[in-house]
Amino acid sequence: MTPNRVTLNRTGRRFTSAAAGALLAGLALGAAPAHGTERAADLPEFDFSACPTVDELPAGADPGTWRCEVMHATGHLRMGAVDEPLTEPMKITFAEGRVDGEFRQVFGEMTAAPIRVGGTPLTLTPQYGGYADFLSDDTRRGEFDITFAIGLTYGPPALPWSGCSVGSDEDAVHLVLKDTDPTRVISKDPLVAAFGAQDAEFAAPGTSGCGPLSRALDRALGLPAAAGANAFDMDVTVAIRPYM
């Protein structure tokens, strides 16, 4: 799923300069976090081709103060009857910086491999749900909305592929991630940091856009699932590159 470039914050949502400074200091620009033992040669490939272009940055943005980030996240998803590892990374690309002292973010792209739902022919593919705020503060690492496109591992395309998903842009899975492992810089050239995060409090909606199959899919996936019955654990690495 590759949506149009959009500002990450919803209309009317603002980020404070103080919080922005905390993020920049925590990752790169101030006192650096503890360094790990990983070498640059051991790092995965980070693709910056989905970074918003300079022309796609907000009006008034100084490219010299903006940067693009590419996040890779693996981990484990427990949601309703789903209890599966994420062995292939979700990849999220976005730009961030300031305009007139206000912190701003612009979404680039999110891609992910299908997650096989054990015991069924179903797969769930994480997709961007239309909202994200990757600015950390004292209470959380960041938050974003996500949906899961439903597919089949084999056989004819019996599902209504277009639009059949867990959640929707209007009723997405809303993740509020909290730290499980502190940020550490694992490479200075290129600049790459790593951390662990989790949301064990989110509620999961039922399926959407699946027509007459919705009830059967909800039963198979154990959805909707109330808050406290789900958890999304993530091991994250993030590569950071300035625009200029």
Residue 92 in contact with residue 129, Cβ under 8 Å?
no
pLDDT value for 20: 33
- Say how far apart CA 17 and CA 14 lie, in whole Å: 10
Return the pLDDT at 220: 95
What's residue 241's pLDDT? 96
Per-residue pLDDT at 227: 96
**How is residue 206 written in tokens?**
């039922």
**Number of H helices and number of E strands within the chain?**
2, 12
The 10 Å CB-count burial string (b at 16+, else e) for 168-186 is beeebbbbbbbeeeebbbb
* Largest pairwise CA distance in the chain: 55
**What type of residue sits at position 122?**
L
217: enclosing H helix or E strand = helix 214-221
Buried/exposed 217-240: b ≥16 CB within 10 Å, e otherwise: bbebbebbbeeebbbbbbbbbbbb
pLDDT per residue, tens digit, the chain (244 aa), is 434 445 454 333 333 333 333 333 344 333 334 444 455 557 889 999 999 999 999 999 999 999 999 999 999 999 999 999 999 999 999 999 999 999 999 999 999 999 999 989 899 999 999 999 988 888 889 999 999 999 988 765 555 557 899 999 999 999 999 999 999 999 998 899 999 999 999 999 999 999 999 999 999 999 999 999 999 999 999 999 999 9
The Cα–Cα gap between 57 and 68 comes to 11
Predicted TM-score (pTM) of this structure: 0.82
